[in-house]
Structures are given as C-alpha cells and as structure tokens.
Amino acid sequence: MKLATPTYDLKNYSSVYEPREDTFLLLDALELENVYLKNLKPLFALEIGSGSGVIISSLSFIFEEKCLYFATDINPEACLATLNTASLNKCNVEVLNTDLSSGFINGIFDLLIFNPPYVITESEEYYTQAINKSWAGGNQGREVIDKFLRKLPEILSKRGICYLLLLKANDLQDVSNVVGKLGFKSKIILERKIIGEYLFVMKINR
C-alpha cells in the first residue's frame, strides 16, 4: 500500500518544523511496516514532538478509526499545528503540550514514534527560541534523545514498538547499547543519505 502524505498548511505556524527528509523517512518506515503494524493492532499510538502533525495523521491512513491517536509537543504552536493538520485529514488526534510524554500514566502506548531534535549543537541552542527545539540536539545530538530513551520503559506497553529517527553522528551502536541495557531489542529498518545528513530509522521493542 502506498501511504498518502497528509495535507498540511503551516503558514500560520511560523515556529513549527516544516516536514522534510527526516519526516518523510519516518513516513516511509511506517509504510514499510504497514502489514506488521496492521497485525500488531495497536490500540494507543503516540507521536512525541509531532510538529506539523503529518506523521500522526498519516497513521490514521493505516489504522483508520481502529486506533486512538495521541501527540505531544513542547512547543505550543506545534500542538495547534498538529490539531489543524489532524482536522484537515479528518483524523482524531488528542494533543498535549508537554515535555516528551510527561503527564501520561505508564505503560499504555503500543506504538510510539519520535523524530527528535538530533543535530549536534551547543547545549544552549535548544533553549533560545521555540523553533530551535525542533533540531538542536546538544552534545552529540543526544541530549533530548537520551532523556527520551530513559523514559522508554515507562512509556511503552508490554508489546509496545517504538520507531525513532536518528543521525549517524548520534552513534547508533551506542543508542543500541543504551536501549539494550533497558531490556529492549533494536534494529535499523531504513536509512537514507541526503546532502549533509545520514538518516536512520531504528525500531525498538521488548
């Protein structure tokens, strides 16, 4: 099945991340996993850092109304953009303005997606303005990623699956070791070299 890219319009949301290669690589990964995911029948799906909301809306093209969709973003304008994109695509998404998944009770999400801020920057970059939170990853691009990984065991349900976007420079082997210590398996399911960036999608589950 070819997944259609959801409609979006960000002209009124200037501090929100415009979908680009990393976004599309995650969309391609979901398309690749389409049959697997349909068999998994996730009941609760969460996208952390949903930005425009394109990815969480596209999930509704896979599961239609047989899944409950949730999204969070630390940037309030991204939360509004996500709701707007969801409604343009006639998809019901519940949105929370929060840090990662803070506020949700533990162990509910069967499907989790995160395209984090992954660019290597100074730590302070992240805090300067709202749009910087979409890319500034601090030391090794890993500051938000590592915080997220530590929370994985409490976010995912027992059968939960996570798709995480990473950059080669984030040190894939090390990420894999970190999640391994938390009791998860990981596997690279898709990669793409674009100008200046080498992008990967890691699939993580118990």
Partner 1 sequence: MKLLTHNMLSSKCLKNVNVGYPLSIKVEEMITSVVDFNPEFIARIIPKLEWNALKQAVNEVGKDSCLPNNLIENFENDEDFLKKVHHVLLEIEIVNGCLVCPETGRSFPINNGIPNMLLNEDEV
Q: Provide the binding-site residues for ligand SAM, judged by CB under 6 A.
A: 17, 19, 23, 48-52, 54-55, 72-75, 78, 99-100, 115, 117, 133-135, 144
- Which of 204, 67, 115, 162 has its CA nearest to residue 59? 67
Binding mask 95-134 for partner 1 (x = CB under 8 A): xxxxx--xxxx--x--------------------------
CA dist., res. 69 & res. 140, Å (int): 31
Query: Of residues 132-191, which lie at the interface with partner 1 (CB under 8 A)?
Result: none
Minimum gap (Å) between residue 189 Cβ and partner 1? 27
Distance CA(43)–CA(89), nearest Å, equals: 20
Segment lying near partner 1 (by CB under 8 A), choices 68-76, 136-144, 159-167, 198-206: 68-76
Structure tokens at 151: 């929370």
Closer residue to ligand SAM (CB): 41 or 129: 129
Q: Are 184 and 154 in contact (CB under 8 A)?
A: no
Residue closer to ligand SAM by CB (options 9, 180) is 9
Instruction: Give the one entry of partner 1, ligand SAM, none that residue 28 binds, where binding means its C-beta sits below a cut-off of 5 to 8 angstroms depending on kind.
Output: none
CB-based contact 139:123 (threshold 8 Å): yes
The single residue among 3, 68, 119, 120 that binds partner 1, judged by CB under 8 A, is 68
The one among 44, 132, 189, 191 contacting partner 1 by CB under 8 A: 44
Give the helix/strand (H/E) hosting 131. Answer: none
* Cβ partners under 8 Å of residue 80, min gap 6: 13
Listed residue (114, 91, 96, 97) closest to 160, CA to CA: 114
Stretch of 10-18, 69-77, 183-191, 196-204 contacting partner 1, by CB under 8 A = 69-77
Q: What Rg value do the Cα atoms of the chain yield, rounded?
A: 16
- The DSSP H or E segment spanning 72 is strand 68-73
Binding interface with partner 1 (CB under 8 A): 43-44, 65-66, 68, 70, 74, 76, 79-80, 83, 92, 94-99, 102-105, 108
